[in-house]
Amino acid sequence: MSPTQHYGVAVVGGGPVGMLLAAELGLHGVRTVVLERHPETVDQPKAGTLHARTVQSLARRGHLPTRRGGRLDQVATTAFHFAGMPGLTIGAPAVEGQPIAGRSQADLERAFERNARDLGVEIRRGHDVVALTQDPRQVEITAEHGDGRRTTLTADYVVGADGARSTVRALAGIRSEEHPPRVAALLGQVRLLDPEGTPPGWNLTPRGWTVINVNPFGYSRVITFDFTGPHADRHAPVTLDELRSTASRIAGHDIPMTDAVFTSRFSDYTRLVHRYRDGRVLLAGDAAHVHFPVGGQGLNLGLQDALNLGWKLALAVRGHAGKDLLDTYHDERHPAGRRVIDNTRAQLALMRPGEETEPLRALFAELLRLDQVGAYLGDMISAQDTAYPSRGGSPWQGRFLPNLPLEIDGADSCVADVLHPGRPVLLLFGDAGEEYARTAAAWGHVVDAVRARAPRPLPWDALLLRPDGYVAWAPPSARADVPDGLRAALREWFGEAADGR
């Protein structure tokens, strides 16, 4: 019998969240395996919207191109919707590029998988996890192959990125807060026989909603929301006749269609786990949170989980993490999951058809035209309002640093560029840089110190940036807190100094 293989991290679930996490771990040299039950990427008309904070974060990690040009005082905008109502404008600093990008979930999964493989990650497709046990030292996993054979492996940590019906969550016994479904939704990819007579976009009727991306030259995506109650059988297959009759009933006229290449049913069921971490088992993406898919926030929420967790888990496996670093994953991402669940439930309440909701929708339509309201809701939907708990000191701590243009070694650069290696970065500005550099030298095995010039005066002499683009530490004021505050922050995030100081 061959010896059990051991890994630093086993990622269960090879969707975009799991593959992104695996690529991040591979970048840090962590021996990583991905266990995915599907033999290949499944092409389905799922999520395709990348919101601003995800676009910005993926650019900092090198997974999307870095935007150059644009001014910090300029804003790039994109029209969006709130609860199906037009009029919401999502804005982002022009230095970050457009606030929304279109990229299919399957395309992202393939790109992240290529990156992970190139970085030495082992991808095992056709493996379904059937058992999991953990002790204080490691986690043991048993996976079943398609032919019935079983494989057992161990890992320092296991991450369940295996979707809404997460096997890892169930096997680890991680409990959740749940809200039962009240809405029945259908989705189909079909050919419309009367595209000109089909109502495009988001349309509310007294009987529910139709959301139709009309394509007169190929397949159109048809979605229906029925508020009369949940599906009688959530797992029953959706026939073309059911989709056609439901869409026609809700629209109030016939919507002829044919040639369904994909259909599914879903609901407004929500789940948020009580803890994102249980010992050596962690959850990410839909395994941790499920919500009604309005606003295109679900994929983004999961990708941001992966970007938050990857570098922390890598440091923990390599023994360079502060003693509570892994706990910050739950502390930071659980509130983000709660915020998305709450805002999607609020949007769904506004979408409910009926005379009693019409005055509320009319009021919200007026509010959306107010700049302050639009900015608040746009930042919420795009996760640009996400800030993590500060550990004291500067109010910049826990905030996302804009993509400031920089000059490094005489060449043009920017914040996103310096974060591509995936390591924390101490940016040094001005005359005080030498003192900070001496302090950080003892953590040089973890942190890169980078001397930079900015085109305009900045409010600090130094900034400690996390690999995900958030500020880990900043001095309370320029030329202050040298060097004790930085030393305390480095120790808190990354453990003891190499020289024992």
Confidence category of residue 499, pLDDT binned at 50, 70, 90: low
User: Is it the case that residue 187 has pLDDT exceeding 60?
Assistant: yes
Q: What pLDDT, on a 0 to 100 scale, did the predictor assign at position 16?
A: 97
Question: pLDDT for 119-157, tens place per residue?
Answer: 999 999 999 999 999 999 999 999 999 888 999 999 999
Query: Which of 267, 284, 308 lies at the terminal end of a domain, its last residue?
Result: 267
In a domain, 220, yes or no: yes
Question: pLDDT for 270-323, tens place per residue?
Answer: 999 999 999 999 999 999 999 999 999 999 999 999 999 999 999 999 999 998
Task: Give percent of the chain above pLDDT 90.
Answer: 84
Coil, helix or strand for 286?
helix
Coil, helix or strand for 432?
coil
User: Is it the case that residue 501 has pLDDT exceeding 70?
Assistant: no
In a domain, 222, yes or no: yes
How many CA atoms lie less than 13 Å away from 18 in the CB half-sphere? 32
Same domain, 328 and 421: no
| Rg for the chain, CA atoms, rounded | 24
As for how many domains the chain has, the answer is: 3
Coil, helix or strand for 418?
helix
Same domain, 220 and 366: no
User: Is it the case that residue 47 has pLDDT exceeding 90?
Assistant: no
Residue 310 is which amino acid? G
Same domain, 290 and 206: no
Strands 85-93 and 75-82: antiparallel
Same domain, 222 and 134: no
With b for 16 or more beta-carbon neighbours within 10 A and e for fewer, the 331-359 pattern comes to ebbbebbebbbebbeebbebbbbeeeeee
Question: pLDDT for 470-480, tens place per residue?
Answer: 999 998 765 55
Same domain, 25 and 164: yes
Structural domain that includes position 251: 184-267
Same domain, 91 and 226: no
Same domain, 61 and 97: yes
In a domain, 394, yes or no: no
Mean pLDDT, the chain, whole residue set: 93
In a domain, 399, yes or no: no
Same domain, 158 and 198: no
Query: Which of 233, 267, 301 lies at the terminal end of a domain, its last residue?
Result: 267
Query: Which of 235, 267, 299 lies at the terminal end of a domain, its last residue?
Result: 267
In a domain, 398, yes or no: no
In a domain, 501, yes or no: no
Q: What pLDDT, on a 0 to 100 scale, did the predictor assign at position 383?
A: 97
- Which one has a higher pLDDT value, 68 or 213? 213
Same domain, 162 and 224: no
In a domain, 484, yes or no: yes
Same domain, 67 and 85: yes
User: Is it the case that residue 1 has pLDDT exceeding 60?
Assistant: no
Same domain, 429 and 443: yes
- Mean pLDDT over 21-45 rounds to 93
Q: What pLDDT, on a 0 to 100 scale, did the predictor assign at position 485?
A: 87
Same domain, 358 and 225: no
Specify the range with the lowest mean pLDDT, choosing from 143-152, 189-198, 376-385, 388-397: 388-397
* CATH code, 13: 3.50.50.60
In a domain, 392, yes or no: no
Q: What pLDDT, on a 0 to 100 scale, did the predictor assign at position 478?
A: 52
In the numeric block, the tokens 């300029």 are attached to 74
Rounded to whole angstroms, the Cα distance separating 274 from 278 reads: 10
